[in-house]
Chain A
Amino acid sequence: MQQAELTNNDIIHRYLNDLRRYLARLAPHETQEVIREIESHLFDVMEQQEAAGNKADAAAILHGFGEPRQLAAQYIAHIEEGAPPPKGFKAIQTMKKSVTATLYFAMAVFGFSAALCLLFVAGAKFLLPESVGVWSTPHGNSIVVGFVSVPPTAMPEVMGWWIVPVAAVLALAVALLTRKVLSVLKQHM
């Protein structure tokens, strides 16, 4: 077995290097402090083993420390948890969360219904070509867009069949934009 051929120093060196890597989130002097303490412990115990007439066994001692990753996880647990939140913080957090949820829902309804309306206008043009379009007054100071029951005869229709592709493309664009906004909102929920 390859493990048996490693010297105690190799084993310790490898373990502490792994540990150092997993402790990367600590400040360098804190990492150094942890490593130094464990190192001191290991050499102390090995010395005692030898003094008692036994063979120093670094691997057996390290077994008590557990896997470097798991040991490191305990040392950095306080960073992951962060500072304790101030009183009342939880209520604010809950409120923020529900506002975000409401916003998310409202955005979804608004965005997708706008896209659906545009799609509906594009499709309706085929069924009721006379009632769907964009009308503008001759001097351009007011326009009527969309689906009307009585076409405003006083105003000229400006788009004709172009309304179909334009509305379809707009519908697609609005739908995509809504999806994008929703995904951003979701990250903050």
Chain B
Amino acid sequence: MNPNDALMEKWEVQLRKGTLELAILAALQQRTLYGLELLKLLQSLPSTTITEGTLYPLLDRLKRDELVDAQWVQEGDSRPRKYYQLTATGAQKLTELTRLWRQSVTDIEFLLANPGPQALPMTGV
């Protein structure tokens, strides 16, 4: 692996770490899922792949912070499963994080779309 690849990977890990909470809250938006379902959903997307060892303790923390709720449900003969959903606080947090995320994407897209050498119009200042 050349050093550039290692740097890219590091950046990807950082990005994933920073957006993981948003990804989980977004996945649970108006949806009730149990751990395995949530894991499979996140693993099906290229930038949100995580392991069991990351997901379950994170869900535990979100529950302690009262951003999600959980209850055990047993349907028919199946094994009891612990289902998660957003609380009102969690939904509020999701709105807030979504706003920040979109702002960040807009800003970076703006920079990418406007290469030099011309000076940029700085509307925000």
Chain A residues with CB under 8 Å of chain B are 34, 36-38, 40-41, 43-45, 61, 64-66, 70-71, 74-75, 77-78
Answer whether A41 and B52 are a contact pair too, CB < 8 Å, given A71-B57, A74-B57, A75-B57.
Answer: yes
Query: Do B79 and A75 touch (CB < 8 A)?
Result: no
Give the secondary structure class of A's interface: helix
Query: Do A40 and B57 touch (CB < 8 A)?
Result: no
Give the secondary structure class of B's interface: helix
Query: Do B82 and A40 touch (CB < 8 A)?
Result: yes
Residues of B within 8 A of A77 (CB): 57
| Residue B36 at the chain A interface, CB threshold 8 Å | yes
Q: In the complex, A67 Cα to B53 Cα: how many Å?
A: 9
Q: Considering only CB atoms, which chain B residue lies closest to A76 in the complex?
A: B57
Answer whether A65 and B52 are a contact pair too, CB < 8 Å, given A34-B60, A41-B35, A45-B36.
Answer: yes
Q: Name the distance in Å between B64's Cβ and chain A's nearest Cβ.
A: 6
Residues of B within 8 A of A61 (CB): 52
Would you list the 9 A-B pairs with minimal beta carbon distance, nearest first? A74-B57, A66-B53, A64-B52, A65-B53, A64-B51, A65-B52, A37-B82, A75-B57, A71-B53
| Residue B31 at the chain A interface, CB threshold 8 Å | no
Q: In the complex, A43 Cα to B77 Cα: how many Å?
A: 14
Residues of A within 8 A of B58 (CB): 74
Query: Do A40 and B52 touch (CB < 8 A)?
Result: no
**Residue of B53, B61, B80 touching A40 (CB-CB under 8 A):** B80
The number of chain B residues with a CB under 8 A from chain A is 15
| Residue B56 at the chain A interface, CB threshold 8 Å | yes
Q: Name the distance in Å between B63's Cβ and chain A's nearest Cβ.
A: 10
| Residue B93 at the chain A interface, CB threshold 8 Å | no
- Can you list 23 A-B pairs, Cβ within 8 angstroms, ordered by A? A34-B56, A36-B80, A36-B82, A37-B56, A37-B82, A38-B56, A40-B35, A40-B79, A40-B80, A41-B36, A41-B52, A43-B79, A44-B36, A61-B52, A64-B51, A65-B51, A65-B53, A66-B51, A70-B53, A74-B57, A75-B57, A77-B57, A78-B61
Residues of B within 8 A of A36 (CB): 80, 82
Q: In the complex, A64 Cα to B39 Cα: how many Å?
A: 11
* Extra pairs beyond A65-B56, A71-B56, A78-B61 (11, CB < 8 Å): A34-B60, A40-B35, A40-B79, A43-B79, A44-B36, A44-B79, A44-B81, A45-B36, A64-B51, A70-B53, A71-B57
Q: In the complex, A38 Cα to B82 Cα: how many Å?
A: 10
Q: In the complex, A43 Cα to B64 Cα: how many Å?
A: 26
Interface residues of B in 22-81 (CB under 8 A from A): 35-36, 51-53, 56-58, 60-61, 64, 79-81
Q: Name the distance in Å between A31's Cβ and chain B's nearest Cβ.
A: 12
Q: Considering only CB atoms, which chain A residue lies closest to B43 in the complex?
A: A64
Q: Considering only CB atoms, which chain B residue lies closest to A30 in the complex?
A: B60
Q: Considering only CB atoms, which chain A residue lies closest to B58 in the complex?
A: A74
Q: In the complex, A40 Cα to B70 Cα: how many Å?
A: 15
Q: Name the distance in Å between B84's Cβ and chain A's nearest Cβ.
A: 10
